[in-house]
């Protein structure tokens, strides 16, 4: 075989704009592990990694589907049964969705990608919260579109700053992304804030993408869909089996497109894109039906476990000099702030913490925050006793780091 003298194969330029901090930090963690230190992975929101269990009736539904021969391709938008279940779910939460506007996807992640691909041209703008969930910026980078970050305010429970949001809207703006309950802040928004978001979207002709993947994980109970405040809004809502149904590895989610006729072309576009990837995982669609029509009692226990961990997390972090943390009210993430010395970055702190203690968090700049602000994201799914141990390590390290 002839050997050519060409150099290594260049990758596409768009890759230089694509980054996903939550997994990037693992590289350094593996190095630390190779040196014999135990690493505490507080970087990734996977309840299974912390001992939570997928509900058995979902596993049985998938097993049965495979045994019953549901192993071929299915309709690209999802089976009629699963689409019915999704439509019924959103409708019962106050946002009417008809089955022909429900889609089954490879997680919320694919729903996000399908929607943004269907809606945004190169050079157009999408409003995303700051801090953000980094998949949005990563997908927008692939599409050649632009993320415009609207601030959320830790002094008001990480609520969106609607005036800042309004100031970012231009004729190039197409979409407003709302993540409520929120990753990475653990916030959920007031009705007044939600109305403000809906009104801004309506006033400027934007599509509102409502990422509601943590909707069942409000500690006070399931959080209503933002769409329930305006069933006619140009709104698309997403969720999945990953968080509230404890099956993130199954890569199964869904979306519901609202009944607004302004979204008719968008439904057709999403359907066209869905055709191109053939279908979602057919056996897992049976779990969607089982999840949405079946017993949800596991969520009660899960919410209680999360609430306990949230309060341990906020109390432990707020007790460290130079650290402040807004107590989460939903989900399993917190976003503490470290008062960094001048010149230090959040990444410096996260890497030093990892090397000294084996505790792995994600730096806030991975979620779009300025690196000198000193934010980091903590996943608090570990058992309370282990969390206390981890925060003791973090406290000792931080006292030394900040010289407090």
Handedness of CA 374, 243, 114, 224 (dihedral sign): negative
Shortest Cβ distance from residue 396 to ligand PLP (Å)? 30
Shortest Cβ distance from residue 132 to ligand PLP (Å)? 9
Shortest Cβ distance from residue 22 to ligand PLP (Å)? 8
SS3 238: strand
Please give the span between the terminal C-alpha atoms of the chain, in angstroms, as a whole number.
64
Minimum CB distance to ligand PLP smaller for 133 or for 363: 133
SS3 180: coil
When computed from its CA atoms, the radius of gyration of the chain, rounded to whole angstroms, is 22
- C-alpha angle 191/195/197, rounded to 5°? 115
Minimum CB distance to ligand PLP smaller for 32 or for 246: 246
Contact 260, 235 (CB under 8 A): yes
Minimum CB distance to ligand PLP smaller for 214 or for 397: 214
Neighbour-count burial of 361, counting CB atoms closer than 10 A to its CB (0-12 exposed, 13-18 middle, 19+ buried) = buried
Largest CA distance in the chain: 69
SS3 41: strand
SS3 324: strand
The whole-angstrom separation of Cα 284 and Cα 112 is: 19
SS3 328: coil
Q: Which residues contact 183 (CB under 8 A, 6 or more apart)?
A: 45, 133, 213, 214, 331, 333
Minimum CB distance to ligand PLP smaller for 108 or for 307: 108
Minimum CB distance to ligand PLP smaller for 47 or for 74: 47
Shortest Cβ distance from residue 215 to ligand PLP (Å)? 11
Minimum CB distance to ligand PLP smaller for 173 or for 239: 239
Shortest Cβ distance from residue 288 to ligand PLP (Å)? 12
Shortest Cβ distance from residue 83 to ligand PLP (Å)? 17
Shortest Cβ distance from residue 384 to ligand PLP (Å)? 22
Contact 379, 333 (CB under 8 A): yes
Shortest Cβ distance from residue 258 to ligand PLP (Å)? 19
Shortest Cβ distance from residue 6 to ligand PLP (Å)? 38
Report the residue count for the chain: 404
Q: Give me the residues that bind ligand PLP (CB under 6 A), please.
A: 45, 107-109, 133, 179, 183, 211, 213, 240, 242, 248, 253
DSSP state at residue 74 = -
Concatenate the DSSP letters of all residues of 258-305 into one string: -S-GGGHHHHHHHHHHHHHT--S-HHHHHHHHHHHHS--HHHHHHHHH
Minimum CB distance to ligand PLP smaller for 99 or for 253: 253
Nearest residue to ligand PLP, by Cβ distance, number only: 107
Q: Which residue has the tokens 């006619």?
A: 232
Q: Which residue has the tokens 């949001």?
A: 165
Minimum CB distance to ligand PLP smaller for 185 or for 307: 185
Minimum CB distance to ligand PLP smaller for 200 or for 379: 379
């Amino acid at each position: 075989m002839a050997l050519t003298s060409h150099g290594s194969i260049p990758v596409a330029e768009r890759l230089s704009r694509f980054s996903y901090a939550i997994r990037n930090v693992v590289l350094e963690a593996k190095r630390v592990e190779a040196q014999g230190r135990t690493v505490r992975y507080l970087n990734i929101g996977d309840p299974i990694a912390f001992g939570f269990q997928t509900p058995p009736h979902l596993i049985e539904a998938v097993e049965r589907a495979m045994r019953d021969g549901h192993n071929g391709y299915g309709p690209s938008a999802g089976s009629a049964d699963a689409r019915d279940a999704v439509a019924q779910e959103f409708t019962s939460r106050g946002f009417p969705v008809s089955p022909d506007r429900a889609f089954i996807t490879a997680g919320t992640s694919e729903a996000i990608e399908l929607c943004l691909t269907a809606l945004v041209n190169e050079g157009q703008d999408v409003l995303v919260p700051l801090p953000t969930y980094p998949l949005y910026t990563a997908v927008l980078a692939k599409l050649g579109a632009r993320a415009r970050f609207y601030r959320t305010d830790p002094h008001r429970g990480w609520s969106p700053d609607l005036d800042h949001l309004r100031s970012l809207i231009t004729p190039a703006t197409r979409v407003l992304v709302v993540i409520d309950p929120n990753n990475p802040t653990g916030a959920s928004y007031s009705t007044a804030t939600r109305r403000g978001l809906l009104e801004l979207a309506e006033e400027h002709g934007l599509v509102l993408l409502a990422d509601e993947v943590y909707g069942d994980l409000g500690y006070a109970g399931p959080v209503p869909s933002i769409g329930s405040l305006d069933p006619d809004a140009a709104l698309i809502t997403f969720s999945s089996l990953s968080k509230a149904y404890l099956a993130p590895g199954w890569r199964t989610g869904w979306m519901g497109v609202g009944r607004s006729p302004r979204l008719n072309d968008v439904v057709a576009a999403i359907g066209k894109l869905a055709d191109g990837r053939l279908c979602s995982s057919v056996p897992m669609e049976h779990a969607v039906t089982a999840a949405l029509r079946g017993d949800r009692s596991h969520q009660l226990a899960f919410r209680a476990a999360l609430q306990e961990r949230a309060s341990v997390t906020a109390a432990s972090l707020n007790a460290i000099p130079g650290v402040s943390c807004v107590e989460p009210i939903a989900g399993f993430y917190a976003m503490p702030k470290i008062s960094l010395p001048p010149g230090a970055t959040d990444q410096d702190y996260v890497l030093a913490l990892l090397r000294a203690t084996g505790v792995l968090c994600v730096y806030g700049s991975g979620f779009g925050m300025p690196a000198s602000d000193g934010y980091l994201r903590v996943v608090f799914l570990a058992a309370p006793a282990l969390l206390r141990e981890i925060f003791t390590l973090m406290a000792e390290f931080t006292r030394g780091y900040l010289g407090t």
